[in-house]
């Protein structure tokens, strides 16, 4: 019989707030996290709005000497993990460290670092590139830095599957625990692509909303009048563990994961297949692991 997997902690840092409680208060109160871009001068850009994390001070979570080793997405991931770990009251002992893993994904990773170091290359030559350029930018170092901080020596991974990256991290972590390769997984995603290349690139694809004059109404994915999506930054982290482990330590159980499915449309590089076939097949595969709609009564 496969092992039951539960959620015992949630950590959120995004445009709607810093910390799970603040984010939930703002979201449930209908307050938008989208506004004018302040990370760079967006005057010449077609899209000038985004969901920035406001008033984020990385020094609350990262020592000053360590900042140069981490792109913004890693800093956000560490902050969100801190909120999740505190909610879960999680402690990883040396004895159980090999059964604790980390799986934190990102679609793009350290775009801010890539752009900064590329500018150094152009202006000063290759000798100006930071020795921390690569570890600060690559996607798997969010998971790596979290594992170092919390002593998680079990499975450690990351995916770069665009908008699905965080969902894949959570689903894959669920399966890792279910098959017995770990008892605990810190999982989720982080993104920080509100940069000139990030906004410029998505705008060039004609993918972004251009409602610059009404940013709080720009993100409307299911509206007939939608004109594109809004880029946001932040991190969302879950603490997953076996039901047995959670009960043994008296953790508050927030939810249980009962199924996970994934599929590919084999249709287009950005557009989903017409008719929703891909989503249907993903949900059907999740039913193999858990509860199907017809079983819910």
Residue 271, φ and ψ in degrees, nearest 5? -90, 140
Same domain for 135 and 77, yes or no, is: yes
Residue 165: per-residue pLDDT: 96
Same domain for 199 and 271, yes or no, is: no
CATH code for the domain in which residue 23 is found? 3.40.47.10
Boundaries of domain holding 106: 5-257
Same domain for 241 and 296, yes or no, is: no
Residue 297: per-residue pLDDT: 43
Same domain for 165 and 273, yes or no, is: no
Same domain for 108 and 17, yes or no, is: yes
In Å, how far are 39, 208, 243 from 233, measured between CA atoms?
A: 11, 15, 32
Structurally, the chain folds into a number of domains equal to 2
Same domain for 265 and 150, yes or no, is: no
The list of the chain residues with pLDDT below 70 reads 1, 288-297
DSSP secondary structure code for residue 17 in this structure: E
Residue 277: per-residue pLDDT: 86
Same domain for 238 and 275, yes or no, is: no
Residue 294: per-residue pLDDT: 56
CA dist., res. 79 & res. 171, Å (int): 22
Residue 284: per-residue pLDDT: 87
Same domain for 52 and 159, yes or no, is: yes
Is the pTM of the predicted complex or chain greater than 0.85? yes
Same domain for 62 and 111, yes or no, is: yes
Same domain for 148 and 287, yes or no, is: no
CA dist., res. 262 & res. 258, Å (int): 14
The answer to whether the beta carbons of residues 138 and 155 sit under 8 Å apart is no
Same domain for 236 and 291, yes or no, is: no
pLDDT in tens, 77-132: 999 999 999 999 999 999 999 999 999 999 999 999 999 999 999 999 999 999 99
Same domain for 28 and 108, yes or no, is: yes
């Amino acid at each position: 019989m496969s092992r039951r997997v539960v959620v015992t902690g949630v950590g959120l840092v995004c445009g709607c707030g810093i910390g799970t409680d603040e984010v939930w208060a703002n979201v449930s109160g209908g307050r938008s996290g989208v506004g004018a871009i302040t990370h760079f001068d967006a005057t010449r850009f077609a899209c000038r709005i985004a969901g920035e994390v406001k008033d984020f001070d990385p020094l609350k979570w990262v020592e000053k000497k360590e900042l140069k080793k981490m792109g913004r997405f890693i800093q956000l991931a560490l902050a969100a993990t801190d909120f999740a770990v505190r909610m879960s009251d999680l402690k990883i002992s040396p004895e159980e460290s090999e059964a604790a893993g980390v799986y934190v994904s990102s679609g793009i990773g350290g775009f801010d670092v890539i752009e900064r170091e590329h500018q150094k290359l152009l202006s000063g030559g290759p000798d100006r590139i930071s020795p921390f350029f690569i570890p600060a930018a690559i996607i798997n170092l969010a998971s790596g830095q979290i594992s170092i901080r919390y002593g998680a020596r079990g499975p450690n991974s990351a995916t770069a599957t665009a908008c699905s990256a965080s969902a894949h991290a959570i689903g894959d972590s669920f399966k890792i625990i279910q098959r017995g390769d770990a008892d605990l997984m810190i999982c989720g995603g982080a993104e920080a692509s509100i940069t000139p290349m990030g906004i410029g690139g998505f705008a060039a694809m004609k993918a972004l909303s251009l409602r610059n004059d009404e940013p709080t109404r720009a993100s409307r994915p299911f509206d007939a009048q939608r004109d594109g999506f809004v880029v946001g930054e932040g991190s969302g982290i879950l603490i997953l563990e076996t039901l047995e482990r959670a009960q043994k330590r008296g953790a508050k159980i927030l939810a249980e994961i009962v199924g996970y499915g994934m599929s590919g449309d084999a249709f287009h590089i950005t557009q989903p297949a017409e008719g929703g076939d891909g989503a249907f097949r993903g949900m059907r595969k999740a039913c193999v692991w858990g509860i199907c709609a017809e079983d819910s009564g």
